[in-house]
Amino acid sequence: MSDKIKIILDVDTGTDDAVAIMMAYLEEKIDLLAVCTVVGNKPLENTTENTLRVKDLLKADFPVYKGCGEAMVCNLNPNRHGGFKGVRTKVGDMKEDVSMHTEYLDIPASTSKVEKEHAVFYYIDTLMKSDGDITLVPVGPLTNLAMAMRIQPEICGKIKEIVMMGGGCRRTNSTPASEFNIWHDPEAAQIVMDSGVPIRMVPLDATHNACVSTDDTKEFRAMGNPVGDAVADFTDHRIMAYSQLQPMERIDSAPVHDALAVCAVAYPEALKDLLFTRVDIDFSGGFADGQTIVDPRAFVDKPRNCHFAFDADREFFVQWMKDLARKV
Ligand code: BDR
Ligand code: CA
């Protein structure tokens, strides 16, 4: 029997999701069972096509399941996402919009296809049949997972762990209070936080401390293989966008958020300064809509539900990606 860590990745691909998929596929400690797609960085059709493009680039055979194209309920209220803008694509006197994600990833169009089953039912079928040994790694909005939990709550007892990219305590991006994955579907995020499943949260507090720089992308490009080139291209695009919209402390660098969550699955030591605490989500529709509320107190009111990472080991994380990309 294989002792690899079985995971299902849930993505809204996206430049950093693309790197996460590549690393999950290449990491020998991980058995990538499937990749599920969700709306988020772009509409569902785009995130799904992008996911298939990455799969084809890797010449991989993992199945791709298409999931939800809209957040659970928050779009019903025009004062929610309508009232606040998402991650900003223009600041100051910028004339052109700049985005961390192109409409489609700049790699060849896909030839492979999605599976027939919907991602939500794939989760339910697979988890119910499992021995409770599957780790879920959502790195986009939590819509698919929360839907599956609502339809079949028994899956919660079958999930080994959730290692998710999302949230932010001292760092935010969508609004002054919120991080994108949580903000996009706050009700879904709260359902997951209430699920009772062990959760490790990889928030902006950790990912912003593990940025990839242009010195690093030069090394990826010098590898001379399709993965090294793709990581370099996607990350250089991110660095260009972050430098204009949300400059990082380390000059000419950007977070590759989602890949850090994958790294943490195989190497928990990549995350630092973890706090086991209570985390809830604001979904009241006000200024703090989508906020990750991390309880810093010694005596919390509700049971602790999350290991929240305030920091990460940048050198370890970047070296891990380089080692994986180099062996392609
Ligand atoms: C998260 O939002 C998305 O833009 C990224 O792919 C990442 O999952 C960061 O806030
Ligand atoms: Ca993502």
* 273-311 tens-digit pLDDT: 999 999 999 999 888 999 999 999 999 999 999 999 999
d(C-alpha 112, C-alpha 93), whole Å: 42
Phi, psi for residue 136 in degrees, rounded to 5: -100, 140
Residue 101 CA: nearest ligand 1 atom is 4
Region of poorest pLDDT, from 4-8, 132-136, 140-144, 245-249: 245-249
The tens digit of pLDDT for each residue in 229-248 reads 999 999 999 999 999 999 99
Residue 15 CA: nearest ligand 1 atom is 6
Contact predicate 202/257, CB 8 Å: yes
d(C-alpha 9, C-alpha 91), whole Å: 32
Q: Give mean pLDDT, residues 136-162.
A: 98
pLDDT score of 85: 60
Overall pTM surpassing 0.85 (yes/no): yes
Residue nearest to atom 10 of ligand 1 (CA): 180
Q: Which ligand is nearest to the CA of 260?
A: 1
Q: Which ligand is nearest to the CA of 238?
A: 1
> Pocket of ligand 1, candidates 51, 99, 139, 237: which has the most ligand atoms within 8 Å of its Cβ, to mutate?
139
In angstroms, the Cα distances linking 247 to 53, 97, 219, 254, 255 are: 29, 16, 22, 8, 10
